[in-house]
Structure 1
Amino acid sequence: MTDSAIRHLELGDGTPLVMIHGYTVDHRVLLPIEPAFADRPGWRRLYLDLPGHGASPRLPGPTSAATLADAVLDWIHAELGEQPFAVLGQSFGGQLARAVTARFGAQVLGSALLVPVVHWGPDRTLPGTTVAERDDKLLDRLPPADRELFGLVMARHTARNWKLFEQYVRPGWRAHDPAAAAELEADFLLPYWPEHRAPEHQGRHLLVTTRQDALVGWRDQLALLDHYPRMAATVLDGVGHNPQVECAETVQGLIGAWLDELPRSRPRPRPRPASVNR
């Protein structure tokens, strides 16, 4: 972790890849992606903790989709300067990743969007069935709060998935700032689609959605294809809102194929703070 306003975990060297998690979790929910880099050196992974999540303090003012987007955009500008980079976002982080691509344009090599937020509330198109497998004996043993969240974000309610949930999802949930989360839930969408204020992005993009996603669904996300001419899209079956956790190997393969299509940039020196004459 660093001492910046947005705390982040940095792994590897090379072309930056900014990783943005979803609502009320933290960077740990994206760590199952790491095996995709085992035979792909040259990527500097920057796993963010959004303000009010994980190790990052909440914003000094109100928390909303717009204020979190501004914080991420400012952080990227300060951390990467004009260096080309890629971005990956999951759920709410997918909405922010779309804002990053719109703001930085050609500086963004491409994006990977995992079950990204597109609509919210009653405007969402959600699937009728969101459970693919259920172990009632397991669920009966869980504390009510854990049972509710586990059932909401996973499609297969099994002992295997419970262990994955305990490792990658629950720690971030327990670390988030509840007051900031309540503010964000009340102002969860950016005031406009980021794509509507930017030209079509010509980089390589990946969209991963799931048939059993109980939070964002999968149909609404397909509208993004109209804004990204080089976007590949996959709809996974039997998987919920955390595909990178619930079917990690499949998502690692999709992300690996996306990474292999991205142009590689020569890393530039990281920006240093200007010296101050006293």
Structure 2
Amino acid sequence: MNDSALWHTEFGDGTPIVLIHGYTIDHRLLLPLEPAFTGRPGWRRLYPDLPGHGNSPRLSGPTSATTMADAVIDWIRATVGDRPFAVLGQSFGGQIARAVTARFGEQVLGSALLVPVVRWGAERTLPDSTVVERDDALLARLALEEDLQLFRAVMARHTKESWALFEEHILPGWRAHDRHAAAELDADFLLPQWPESPGMVHHGRHLLLTTRQDALVGWRDQLALLDHYPRMTAVVLDGAGHNPQVECAPAVRELIAGWLDTLPRPN
């Protein structure tokens, strides 16, 4: 495969916005954001599947944070060209979105970073408590241990309602990803240096959204990004885990809608 030829789906037309999902799932994780565009015409929403995820084959060479970022950047060049665009990234996709902003500079109108990866492994600052509601009877009935472990890791509410959202938006992508490519990426999960280093400042309009109960990336480490984005709004939501666009979709959609309304729109 041509590593820049990622599979994607898109909606609408006008100014491009690239929405990048996270690790071991696919674009369906971000589709709950679509209602934020209702009543906001003129946005061409591009949802790629990262290499080795969803409908995109793995890279032809080694999989790492660097090769994944390069593949997305090449795909954006081929798909968006020299048009101004916005970018949104969730989790690992947030790290990629930061790399996109650093590479394209002022061509990027702004970014929305949802629970972005900033640090990993033992370097992460994680919250002490990550569960706000728990249905022990439900957890006892769930049969597949691997699915259950993922559910408990990415959702703060372990309830029947949360499980239904998990089954609809997260589990299909989890079951579709390339396990060998994911293992390679897990071993080389961070870019060699922060995309913002050294001293990068981007003056577009940016949104940072984290959650108090995020068991995978936390919320404190992400606040260091504010130094690089002078027009960044930072929000820390309570009552949600690593997938706030699924677990508390109305609140997240409202924040995304507000961010969209701040972005300059090229003629």
Counterpart mapping for 1:111-122 below 5 A: 111-122=111-122
Distance of 1:136 and 1:146 partners within structure 2: 16
Q: How many residues align?
A: 264
Distance of 1:49 and 1:146 partners within structure 2: 21
Percent identity between the aligned chains?
A: 73
CA-to-partner distance for each residue in 1:117-168, whole Å, 9 max, x for gaps? 0000000000000101000111111121111110000000111111100000
Distance of 2:128 and 2:120 partners within structure 1: 16
Bigger Cα Rg? 1
The alignment partner of 1:217 has SS state of: coil
Give yes or no for contact 2:25–2:170 (8 Å, CA) kept in 1: yes
With structure 1 as the length reference, what TM-score do the two structures score?
A: 0.93
Partner of 2:100: 100
Please report how far the alpha carbon of residue 78 of structure 1 lies from its aligned counterpart in structure 2 after TM superposition: 1.0
Give yes or no for contact 1:208–1:233 (8 Å, CA) kept in 2: yes
Give yes or no for contact 1:120–1:216 (8 Å, CA) kept in 2: yes
Give yes or no for contact 1:210–1:240 (8 Å, CA) kept in 2: yes
Give yes or no for contact 1:211–1:239 (8 Å, CA) kept in 2: yes
Give yes or no for contact 1:102–1:197 (8 Å, CA) kept in 2: no
Please report how far the alpha carbon of residue 5 of structure 1 lies from its aligned counterpart in structure 2 after TM superposition: 2.2
Give yes or no for contact 1:5–1:57 (8 Å, CA) kept in 2: no
Q: Which runs of 5+ in 1 are unaligned?
A: 267-278
The alignment partner of 2:10 has SS state of: strand
The alignment partner of 2:210 has SS state of: strand
Q: Are 1:209 and 2:216 an aligned pair?
A: no
Partner of 2:81: 81
Greater Cα offset, 15-24 or 139-148 = 139-148
Q: Are 1:132 and 2:132 an aligned pair?
A: yes
Give yes or no for contact 1:25–1:175 (8 Å, CA) kept in 2: yes
With structure 2 as the length reference, what TM-score do the two structures score?
A: 0.97
Give yes or no for contact 1:53–1:177 (8 Å, CA) kept in 2: yes
Runs of 4+ residues deviating >2 angstroms = none
Root mean square deviation of aligned Cα: 1.1
CA-to-partner distance for each residue in 1:87-107, whole Å, 9 max, x for gaps? 000000000000000000000
Counterpart mapping for 1:157-236 below 5 A: 157-197=158-198, 199-236=200-237
CA-to-partner distance for each residue in 1:34-69, whole Å, 9 max, x for gaps? 000111111000001000000000001110000000
Please report how far the alpha carbon of residue 198 of structure 1 lies from its aligned counterpart in structure 2 after TM superposition: 6.2
Give yes or no for contact 2:199–2:228 (8 Å, CA) kept in 1: no
The alignment partner of 1:17 has SS state of: strand
Distance of 1:180 and 1:201 partners within structure 2: 32
Distance of 1:145 and 1:69 partners within structure 2: 28
CA-to-partner distance for each residue in 1:168-213, whole Å, 9 max, x for gaps? 0000000000000000000000001000146310000000000000
Distance of 1:147 and 1:179 partners within structure 2: 21
Q: Which runs of 5+ in 2 are unaligned?
A: none
The alignment partner of 1:196 has SS state of: coil
Partner of 1:36: 36
The alignment partner of 2:196 has SS state of: helix
Give yes or no for contact 1:102–1:198 (8 Å, CA) kept in 2: no
Give yes or no for contact 1:89–1:112 (8 Å, CA) kept in 2: yes
Distance of 1:132 and 1:62 partners within structure 2: 39
Distance of 1:114 and 1:156 partners within structure 2: 18
